[in-house]
Structure formats: C-alpha cells, structure tokens
C-alpha cells in the first residue's frame, strides 16, 4: 500500500520507522534522502489499518525501530531486495503482467493514477518527492483519454 498509494521508493519503505507514523495527527512522515528532508502525507484509513494490523499480528517483537522486519531469525529490517521479492511474487500470484515486476512498478502505477486524475506534472513530482519536473517526466505516459479529448475539441470550423 505504501508503494502504490504514496509512490514511495523501496528504500523509503525499508527505512520507515515506528515514529514515522503519527497516529494522533494521522500523518505519515517519509524521509526523502534525495531531497535531504522529510515529507508528510495524510495517513489513509486503509493504509493505517494495514500497518496497525501488521504491527499487532505479524511483526516480530524486537528492539528494531524500523517498521518492516524479516519474519525469521536473525530478525532485522527488511531490505530493498526483500521488498522486490515480495512485490514480484505477489504480482505473479495475481497473474499481473508488467514489463517491470518490482516495487518501482507500483511507483509508476501511482504516478499513472495521478496523471489519469488530472494532476499536473508538478503535483505528481511533489507527491513522489522529486526535486525537479525533469525527474517526473519519465513517469509521464501517453494519456490516451486526454489525447482523445483534445482531438475531439471543436475548433469552430478551422479544421
């Protein structure tokens, strides 16, 4: 959910700590190493519920501050590689065919969803934690419904 809803990078999810979730304010704080700052997001009810369920029922008890941990000894924070394996395996189980099968595919899906909902490249870049619009341009895919809308625009007989 963190990868698809918020478009987070696998490293950002792997490094997320317990104190990054402010349950009282319903805020999720994400360390953005490329920007050298933290970014806050509203914690969706669905995502908050999933994190809470994981913390209560799945996460091994230990002194680690990272949220996501390995389930087998030695207990340690989940790596980016482990996240890749989890996402890739889940996509395979769901028979979802994508050119790229890791966490970054979910980041692209998030950006595509925002573009479909008419967010500007600047807004998408801000959501993804980009410093410049140049970095966001790789997520700009062809918007076929938008192109059809432009093609159907009435030019008032200037065709």
Instruction: Respond yes or no: is residue 85 known to be catalytic.
Output: no
* 90 in active site: no
139 has catalytic annotation: yes
54 is an active site residue: no
Identify the active-site residue in 34, 65, 90, 141: 34
Q: How many H helices and E strands in the chain? A: 8, 3
Which listed residue (6, 15, 59, 107) is catalytic? 107
- By annotation, the residues acting in catalysis are 9, 34, 104, 107, 130, 139
């Amino acid at each position: 959910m963190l990868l698809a809803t918020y478009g987070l990078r696998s490293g950002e999810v792997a490094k997320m700590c317990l104190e990054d979730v402010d349950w009282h304010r319903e805020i999720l704080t994400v360390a953005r190493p490329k920007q050298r700052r933290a970014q806050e997001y509203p914690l969706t009810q669905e995502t908050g519920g999933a994190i809470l369920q994981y913390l209560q029922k799945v996460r091994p008890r230990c002194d680690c501050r990272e949220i996501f941990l390995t389930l087998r000894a030695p207990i340690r924070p989940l790596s980016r590689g482990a996240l890749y394996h989890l996402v890739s395996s889940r996509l395979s189980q769901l028979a979802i065919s994508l050119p790229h099968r890791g966490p970054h595919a979910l980041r692209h899906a998030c950006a595509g969803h925002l573009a479909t909902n008419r967010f500007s490249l600047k807004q998408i870049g801000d959501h993804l934690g980009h410093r410049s619009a140049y970095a966001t341009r790789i997520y700009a895919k062809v918007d076929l419904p938008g192109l059809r809308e432009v093609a159907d625009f009435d030019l008032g007989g200037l065709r």
